[in-house]
Amino acid sequence: MTMFAPLAGIWMPSPQDLRLFGAELSLVAAIVALLVLSMLFGRSERLGAGVALAAAVAVIFFCRDAAGLVDTGARAALTPPGAASMLVADRFTVFFKLLLALFLATIIWLWMTGAAAGRTGGEVRPVPAGPEFFVLLLTSMLGMSLMVATPNLLVMMIAVETASLPSYMLAASDRRSRAGAEAALKYVLFGATTAAVMAYGLSLLFGLFGTLDLPAIAAAVSVKGMPALGWIAMAAFLVGVAFKISAVPLHFWCPDVFEGAPVEVATWLSVASKAAGLGLLLRIVAAFGGDVPATIALPLAWGVGLVAAATCTLGNLAALRQESVKRMLAYSSIAHAGYMMMAAAIPPAAAGDATVRPAMAAIVSYLFVYLLMNLGAFGVTAMVAWSQGSDRLAAFTGLGRRAPWLAVPMSICLFSLVGLPPLAGFAAKWWLLAALGQGADRHSWLWWLVFVAVINTAVSLYYYVRVIRQMFLADDERLERLAVPVGGLALANGCAVLLLLLGTVAFGLMRDRSLAYAACLARAAPESVVAAQDRLAWNGGPEGMVVNGADRP
Amino acid sequence: MGSITLMHYLVLGALLFCCGLLTMVVKRNAVGILIGVELVLNAANVNLVAFGRYRGAGIDGQAAALFVIVLAAAEAAVAIAIFMNFYRHLTTVDVDRGDLLRG
Amino acid sequence: MEHGNLLNLLIFLPAVGAVLCLIVPGTRTVKVVATATTALVMLLSLGLFRHFAWWGRGDGWQEAVFGGTYGERLYEVTRLDWIRLDGTTIQYFVGIDGLSFPLVILTTLITFLACLASWNIESWKVGRGVRGYFALFLLLETGMIGVFCALDFFLFYVFWEVMLLPMYFLIGVWGGPRREYAAIKFFLYTLAGSVLMLVVLLAFHFYSPVRTFDLIEMAVNDRIAAVFNAETTSFLGWKFATAMFVFLFIGFAIKIPVFPFHTWLPDAHVEAPTPISMILAGILLKMGAYGLLRISYPILPAAAEHFAYALAVLGVINILYGALCAMAQTDFKRLVAYSSISHMGYVLLGIAIMTAAGLQGAMFQVIAHGISSPMCFFLVGVLYDRAHHREIDRFGGLWLSMPVYGSLATLGFFASLGLPGLCGFIGEFWVLVATFSAPFAWARPMAVLAAVGVVLTAGYILWMLQRVYLGPARPEYESFPEVTGREVFILTPMAVLAVALGILPQQTLFNFMNGTLEQICELYGDGVSMMASVAGMCLGR
């Protein structure tokens, strides 16, 4: 026992607390296991896939467990006594982890389909081989899980990097591909630059407020106001978040990476990276609700709204003239990130206000639908690219005849991406617009965002339909039928069926579920602000700190 | 007069930040850009440590700086690996040569 | 409000048929299934007549059939909660009244006839599957009937959009040489209009003091009307009612189509296969007018009055512009397409003047055009099947080689022209008279201008008849086979209706819808409806 004596004064999390973070712990365990196992049994891809799949299942299991635990309380936090929490577990984070885990499983499914299809070695057919592919995949997921689960700026930054670093390498996971090398280069340079700016913003925020705890900063701001430098620091910090979401003007990496990276990786990044970035943005925006005066909350909302509008407009316009379907889907994912950011632009009102919940719920349901749509569209693109050796529009010629069971689900996914009823994409868009409309009761400028969203919907039709036109309206009799792996068919058609169901009979169900998941973030934010005010003792507040910097410890 | 105040560190940090930003914008060599990134990260570190020392009651700032240092190291490792991969394909690390993907 | 399931059957039976089309074996079976489905739907829809039977009910029949106020009497209502939204529910709410009843009947009939007209799909030389065509065709019918039956704004919007996809494919896959261009143009135009409708859908919900999507409730609830039509209610700086009316109008105007939103129509018509042209002209165009009467006018009467002049001007422009364009066409089908634009101008004019007589004329014109224009398109299609071109100047003397066809064609085009005794006449005449007596200072000059359209219409149709059907027989067309039994079978119902509506307008149409139209007019306010009754007396009602 004496051996542990020095540890006596150190805080240890309770088993109860750890259980809440079983998802993250199981990811870490899987990563370690993969590294060790590949040393013991050689570099087996099957093994990698198996362990990663097991990790996804474990995450789902622990998330369901955690959902039950946080259901009763507002949220549970991994908090040493007398300190700010570094990680939180609420239903909002549970949702994101579940989403990521489900998505991870489907990505592995997609990978296995590709592996089983025999990889004919066409120019686009990459082989993200070896267990390290899965190590990287799991590590990026770990980072993404942490991104949505922390109120601490430093942990946010670490989580963003934990998610980004493996993603850079994933983009280059096909080492034979020049496009992959170029994509990774652009990705890492963009990411490193934004991360550095983010770190600088973080350091300034730390200096101004004396803490890296976001609720404490929000509390300080609501008492003392936001200094001009604070806005700059905040903006610099948000640069890192905007990079993850691929918000304009930090979106340039996105199309290059999606086009250059293997399809599995592009699919993974298109949903997971953006989802985590949005979760992070939501947490920041939600923290500035509650008691934070409108003079601070509103400019923040306007900024987010402006960026959102620019993001979805530019994304859609750039998508109009793409010939590579992967690249087109990349721009479409930028546009969809813009739609989702719009909900984050709804200014959170006073504590207990009902408006913020629909906004959160809208993003939650949108993300889920977006996952299905993108998975289906990217999945079909992958099948076509694998068998045709190209993801150009021309490769889709006559797909309606050559592979109807790919063309029909592809059309459903694309029409759903447009947001046409009776598909789930419309349901998602509807809840988003309804949230905006509800917020517009108090902030009528949100109607402008509604306008931007609906006009973009009409614009986006054009480029999605280009693919559909190529599949059904254009044909070349000389082209032969496509041999498609069964796993790919199952994936694409499964997505399509779910989209149909969610757009019709389960239209409302989705909202009920997502409201439940959004509940805790909305409730937790104001509470933690109040709690954080107690901890705001260490210095007088934000103002004047840099200006009269003569004081010494 | 003569004593080093918080302000001095902050100015140093700001200078580093500007130098780094300038490097990132001007350099076309990937390694050059990475050096700019490191400069900016170190600007953040100077700020963090200075704030921690002059304003803080605890070691939060210093601890944060340690994390940033680790991040910078990891990032450099990954970035260099990717640069080498790029170099294998094009025998250069000039970012302007990466013109396969565009539009 | 009388509950019933007939409408659900009408809406979803075609969808079931569409699924069947995808799974049954053999192309001929597919055709049989599709035709049987549309026939069944048509026969079932006849069951709706029992609610609107005006005969044998004695003097108070109008009150008994239509009830006292708008929305009081709805038939075959189904109301189910579909989606919960804070404070209210989005409902699956379908029902039928005098406004939608004739349109539903028209839809089922024209769809059935168009389905028959699709039987020669193999000869279209597009080399595409029959299965997909009929499945999409039936899906389209679901959307169309749904639009006319939906009484919940959200549901209306969903059905409105559901129509788009089948239409896109039907034009784009089975259409003419420039089908891709025409299809995407149709799609983009309509979607651009409908996203504005989506904004209205949201704004109605969040501005309304009573959270509802119920179109009837929005029209009759005084609290909602007070907020919507108040001068002080503003939407992003515009007056709420004005902004909403404009958004809705753009959406509907694209469908009608109103100048300058009409450019998709000639392209779509020319490229679409014949049956799809029939549906497009016969039913889809009517949805714009229906939307104005179901949503814009009852809910936003103040804005409607504000824009009455602008709408009437647009209506007259449509009439004259469409007619002049039709006159300049050398492509037979394009001519009929432009004549549609011209004819729909009367509908807009009739609606714009906001009197009961105007509404009656407009709705009559809607139905009359819904009968005559599919007939014209089919007549053109018959010719195209034989000649494989549509150049008016290359035809001539067809009456000699095809006497039966020539006679039916003359009947159809005369109906479109507005010859007294045929359906087109009543609608146009009614609108013109109503406009002349409308309570607006600008109404009389407008009526005079619109009357010029009648002359122009006569001009281009008679000129066309002369060039195509009359004159000396041309050798290359002498061997043309006479219309087949199938073609006569398709033309006959439309011909019979064109005559019946022209001779007995009261019994065949007005009695089925006037009650509801008057109720809609009452929603506008007393002043306007009083003038309307005067106009009604002038017309000898």
Percentage of chain A lying above the pLDDT 70 cut: 85
Contact B100 A169 (CB under 8 A): no
With CA atoms as reference, the chain B residue closest to A538 would be B57
With CA atoms as reference, the chain B residue closest to A200 would be B44
SS3 of C532, please?
A: helix
What is the pTM assigned to this prediction? Answer: 0.91
Judging by DSSP bridges, how do beta strands A87-89 and A76-78 pair with one another? Answer: antiparallel
Q: Which domain holds residue B60?
A: 6-91
At least 3 CB pairs under 8 A between chains C and A = yes
- Rounded to whole angstroms, the Cα distance separating C33 from C37 reads 6
CATH of the domain at B43: 1.10.287.3510
Per-residue pLDDT, averaged over C281-308, amounts to 92
DSSP output for B40-58: HHHHHHHHHHHHHHHH-SS
Judging by DSSP bridges, how do beta strands C238-239 and C88-96 pair with one another? Answer: unpaired
Which residues, numbered 6 to 25 in chain B, qualify as contacts with chain A under a Cβ-Cβ cut-off of 8 Å? 6-7, 10, 13, 17, 20-21, 24
Chain A residues whose beta carbon lies within 8 Å of the beta carbon of residue B82: 168-169, 172, 181, 184-185, 188
CB distance from A355 to chain C under 8 Å? no
With CA atoms as reference, the chain A residue closest to B30 would be A189
Contact A189 B95 (CB under 8 A): yes
The segments of chain A whose pLDDT lies below 50 read 1, 74, 120-125, 351, 523-553
Which residues face B29 on adjacent strands?
A: B94
pLDDT digits (tens, 9 = 90+) for C401-432: 888 888 999 999 999 988 888 998 999 999 99
CA diameter of chain A? 82
As given in the structure block, the two tokens for residue A82 are 């007398």
Contact A422 C162 (CB under 8 A): yes
Given pLDDT bands bounded at 50, 70 and 90, which one contains residue C230? confident
Give yes or no for residue C355 having a pLDDT over 80: yes
Contacts of B59 (CB under 8 A, 6+ apart): B52
Residue A350 confidence (pLDDT) = 55
A196 → closest Cβ in B37, B74, B93: B37
Chain C residues whose beta carbon lies within 8 Å of the beta carbon of residue A361: none
A451 → closest Cβ in C161, C191, C199: C199
**What 8-state DSSP symbol labels residue C390?**
-
CB distance from C55 to chain A under 8 Å? no
Contact A469 C184 (CB under 8 A): yes
- Rounded to whole angstroms, the Cα distance separating A485 from A501 reads 25
A182 → closest Cβ in B36, B47, B86: B86
Give the range among A101-115, C48-62, C440-454, C459-473 with minimum mean pLDDT: C48-62
Closest-CA distance of chain A to residue B80, Å: 10
Considering chain B, what is the average pLDDT of its residues? 89
Chain A residues whose beta carbon lies within 8 Å of the beta carbon of residue C181: none
Angle at which helices C423-436 and C403-417 pack, to 10 degrees?
A: 10
Closest-CA distance of chain A to residue B10, Å: 8
Long-range contacts of C528-535 (CB under 8 A, 24+ apart): C528/C305, C528/C354, C528/C355, C528/C439, C529/C355, C529/C356, C531/C355, C531/C437, C531/C438, C531/C439, C532/C355, C532/C356, C532/C357, C532/C358, C533/C356, C534/C437, C535/C355, C535/C356, C535/C357, C535/C358, C535/C433, C535/C434, C535/C437, C535/C438
A185 → closest Cβ in B50, B71, B95: B95
Which residues, numbered 433 to 452 in chain A, qualify as contacts with chain C under a Cβ-Cβ cut-off of 8 Å? 433-434, 436-438, 440-441, 444-445, 447-448, 450-451
Residues comprising chain C, all counted: 541
More reliable by pLDDT, C157 or A127 = C157
With CA atoms as reference, the chain A residue closest to C209 would be A441
Q: Tell how far CA C157 is from the center of its chain.
A: 17
CB distance from B71 to chain A under 8 Å? yes
Per-residue pLDDT, averaged over C201-228, amounts to 89
At least 3 CB pairs under 8 A between chains B and C = no
Whether residue C251 contacts residue C196, with contact meaning beta carbons closer than 8 Å, is answered with yes
Residue A355 confidence (pLDDT) = 56
Chain A residues whose beta carbon lies within 8 Å of the beta carbon of residue B19: none
Contact B67 A321 (CB under 8 A): no
Does B103 map to a domain? Answer: no
pLDDT digits (tens, 9 = 90+) for C324-354: 999 999 899 999 999 999 999 999 999 999 8
- Rounded to whole angstroms, the Cα distance separating A451 from B6 reads 49
With CA atoms as reference, the chain A residue closest to B9 would be A549
Sign for the CA dihedral angle at A380, A385, A391, A394 comes to negative
Contacts of A433 (CB under 8 A, 6+ apart): A450, A453, A454, C198, C202
SS3 of A132, please?
A: helix
- Rounded to whole angstroms, the Cα distance separating A372 from A495 reads 5
Given pLDDT bands bounded at 50, 70 and 90, which one contains residue C127? low
Chain A residues whose beta carbon lies within 8 Å of the beta carbon of residue C164: 420
Judging by DSSP bridges, how do beta strands C88-96 and C234-235 pair with one another? Answer: unpaired
A507 → closest Cβ in C83, C198, C203: C83
- Rounded to whole angstroms, the Cα distance separating A326 from A379 reads 11
Residue C268 confidence (pLDDT) = 92
Contact C195 A508 (CB under 8 A): no
Whether residue A376 contacts residue A108, with contact meaning beta carbons closer than 8 Å, is answered with no
Does B28 map to a domain? Answer: yes
Given pLDDT bands bounded at 50, 70 and 90, which one contains residue C390? confident
Contact C188 A447 (CB under 8 A): no
In this structure, what are the phi and psi dihedrals at residue C233, rounded to the nearest 5 degrees?
A: -70, 120
Which of B19, B60, B84 is best to mutate for the A interface (most A CBs within 10 A)?
Answer: B60
A vs B: CB pairs below 8 A: 167
Does B101 map to a domain? Answer: no
